Homo-oligomer: A and B are copies of this chain.
Amino acid sequence: MGLYVQKYGGTSVADLERIQDVAKRVSSYFQNGDDVVVILSAMAGVTDNLIDMAKTISDSPDKRELDVLLATGEQTTAALLALTLRSMGYPAMSLLGFQAEVITDCHFGNARILEVGAQRIRDFLKKRTIVVVAGFQGCDPRGNITTLGRGGSDTSAVAIAAALEADICEIYTDVDGIYTADPNVCEKARKIESISYDEMLNMASLGAKVLQIRSVGFAKKFNVPIHVRSSFSEEEGTMVVSEEPAMESLVVSAVTHDKDQARITLKKVPDQPGIAAKIFSPISEGGIVVDMIIQNTRSGGQTDLTFTVPKADFKRALEIEKGVAVDIGAEDVFGDEDIAKVSVIGVGMRNHSGVASLMFNPLAKENINIIMISTSEIRISCIVEEKYTELAVRVLHNSFGLDRED
C-alpha cells in the first residue's frame, strides 16, 4: 500500500474511451489499497487548437489571458476523469491548480512553481478519495491563473508528489520508457531500466520528448522517484532516480542527438572585456536561447567566437549579430543551419578517463568531422554535419557497448 502520483499525457486522455482506460488503471491501484493522486494533461491537440484560436485574434496574444484560455484544457480532462471514476462507483474529486494550491511566480505562459500547498489533496486522501488534479496550471500569489509551459503537467506531477512525499511519481505517456538512443535512428537502441536524475537532465534533447526537463530538476531536488511508462501497456518503463552505485559500471548510458541546431560565427572579434556581453545581451533580450559557445584565441588581440541557437531562431539571431558586428568591429559574421549535436551521457564518465577519445576515434574512423565540442561532468557533445547524425549515433551506440543486452 503506497501513495501513487500518476500523470497521464495528452494521448492517454485523447477521448472518452482513453479516459475510461485511465479510470480502469487508476481504480485498480485504488482497489489494491493504494492512495492515488492523478495529474492530467489536456486532450491531445486541444492546447494547440486553443493557441491557434488565440493567434487568429492576435499574433502575440496577451499572455495572462492566454493562460486563462489554455487552463480550460486540463480543467476539462480533470472533470471528465472524475465523472468517469464516479460513474464507476469510485469516490473521486477533481481539483484545479489553484485549488491544489500550486503557487507559481507570475511569468504567464512559463511560470515556475514556488510552492505546493496541497492541503485539500491531503484532506481528500484522508477520506480515501481519488484526487484528480488539472496539470499544467497554477496560480500566482495574487490568484491569477498561470501555466507552466509546454509539458508542464510533468512538473505539476513531480511537484505535487514532492509536496505529498509520495512513494512514486508515475509518468504515463505514449512511449514505454527512455531509450539508449532514438529507436528511429538506431535500431539496436534498448530501453533503459534505470537512469539517474543527472543523466536525465543531460538528455534534454532526447528526454524532453518524454519528460519536461524542468520536472527532473524538481524530482532531483526533492528526491522523487519517477517511473516513465506507457499508458498503453502493463510493462515496466524506465525509473529516473538518485544515482546508484551500479550505474557507474556503465561508462555511458545513452547517446542522444538534436538536429534543432544552427551555428553563428563572429570572425576577428576584438578581445576586450565586455565584448561577450555586447554579443549575447541582444540575443537574450530577443528571447533566443544560446546553447554552446566556443571561443578560439587568434593572434593580435582578436578572437573567433561561435555559438549555437535553435534553428527557428537562426535568421533572427544572424540579423542581430550583423548589427553587433558593426558595433564591436568584428570582421565578419556567418552561420550554418546544416548541423546537429550528438552527445554521450553517463554518470560513469566521472570515473573513467579517456572517454573523449572513445568518442572521437570511432567518429574519425567514419570520416565524421567534429565542428564543435562541449563537455560537462557527465556528458560530451559534438557538433557534426547534419547529414552524419544517424551514422554518428549508431557508431557511438556501438562503441560504448550499448548494443549489448546485459
Q: What residues of chain B lie closer than 8 Å to A86, measured between beta carbons?
A: 58, 61-62, 65
Over the window 90-111 of chain A, the binary record of Cβ atoms lying under 8 Å from chain B Cβ atoms (1 yes, 0 no) is 0011101011000000000000
Copy total for this chain = 2
Q: What residues of chain B lie closer than 8 Å to A61, measured between beta carbons?
A: 83, 86-87
CB within 8 A of A83: which of B54, B71, B83, B92?
A: B54
Question: Does A223 have its Cβ within 8 Å of any Cβ on chain B?
Answer: no
Q: Are A94 and B78 in contact (CB under 8 A)?
A: no
Shortest Cβ gap from A269 to chain B (Å): 41
Q: What residues of chain B lie closer than 8 Å to A69, measured between beta carbons?
A: 75-76, 79-80, 83
Question: Does A276 have its Cβ within 8 Å of any Cβ on chain B?
Answer: no
Shortest Cβ gap from A128 to chain B (Å): 17
CB within 8 A of A68: which of B16, B62, B78, B145?
A: B78
Q: Are A76 and B72 in contact (CB under 8 A)?
A: yes
Q: Are A65 and B53 in contact (CB under 8 A)?
A: no
Q: What residues of chain B lie closer than 8 Å to A82, measured between beta carbons?
A: 62, 65, 68
Shortest Cβ gap from A146 to chain B (Å): 13
Over the window 1-40 of chain A, the binary record of Cβ atoms lying under 8 Å from chain B Cβ atoms (1 yes, 0 no) is 0000000000000001000000000000000000000000
A143 to B120, CA, bound (A): 10
Question: Does A84 have its Cβ within 8 Å of any Cβ on chain B?
Answer: yes
Q: What residues of chain B lie closer than 8 Å to A78, measured between beta carbons?
A: 68
CB within 8 A of A57: which of B56, B72, B80, B120?
A: B80
Q: What residues of chain B lie closer than 8 Å to A66, measured between beta carbons?
A: 79, 83
Q: Which of A68, A80, A82, A120 has the most CB of B within 10 A?
A: A68
Shortest Cβ gap from A10 to chain B (Å): 16
Question: Does A64 have its Cβ within 8 Å of any Cβ on chain B?
Answer: yes
| Given A69-B76, A72-B75, A75-B68; A83-B57 close (CB under 8 Å) | yes
Measured CB to CB, the nearest residue on chain B to A56 is B16
Q: What residues of chain B lie closer than 8 Å to A71, measured between beta carbons?
A: 75
